Amino acid sequence: ALPQTEATSLFNNGSTNIESVLVIASDYKPKPGGIASYLDSLTRGLRACGKNAKVLALVESHETDRLDFLQSYEDWVIPLPIVHDQRPHKWFGNKCMSLLEIARCKSPAVRAVLERTSLFKDSATAIVQLKAVLEKEKPMLVVLGHLDLKLYPLVLHLQQIGQPYGIIAHDSEIY
């Protein structure tokens, strides 16, 4: 966990005063391990400094036990069931990202068309869910808890609406 003085200096440095933070976490409680514990400690530390910090815990739809746990974990945790797009295995350029996904990232016009297709239905739904959370919570800063490539559609939306955001990279994500 960040010592309180460090967290305070990060969010009250004179030039900016970030009062509300939404941490988007696809790796969160009750999963054991470093990222889940780190994000929980970070959020608790920000809250201890008087900040309105909440966690948007993304839960894959089949993780019903995890969803049940998160719904009663803390009132500042927002569990959100999510389904990720399933890429057909024969998509051209399917090693890491497909050419359609790259086009989606590069062109807002292409993105608007692709998000109306069945290929990107699940991530388009996730974006609608994220919009609702952002409208309700109105965070000054969104922090993605780790570099999760499945969340790139959410980052595209954050960029499109001009929402300040950051991504925390851990361990092998930086190599």
pLDDT digits (tens, 9 = 90+) for 128-140: 999 999 999 999 9
Confidence of residue 17 (pLDDT cuts 50, 70, 90): confident
Residue 19: predicted pLDDT: 94
Better pLDDT: 158 or 33? 158
Distance (Å, whole) CA 82 – CA 137: 19
Residue 170: predicted pLDDT: 75
Average pLDDT over residues 153-174: 88
Residue 96: predicted pLDDT: 58
- Name the 3-class secondary structure at 114: helix
Distance (Å, whole) CA 127 – CA 113: 15
Residue 5: predicted pLDDT: 47
Give 80-121 pLDDT, tens digit per residue: 999 988 876 665 555 556 778 888 889 999 999 999 998 899
Length of the chain (residues): 175
Q: Over the chain, what is the mean pLDDT?
A: 85
Residue 166's DSSP bridge partners are: 143
Q: What is the pTM of this model?
A: 0.84
Neighbours of 19 (CB within 10 A): 15
- Name the 3-class secondary structure at 11: helix
Residue 175: predicted pLDDT: 55
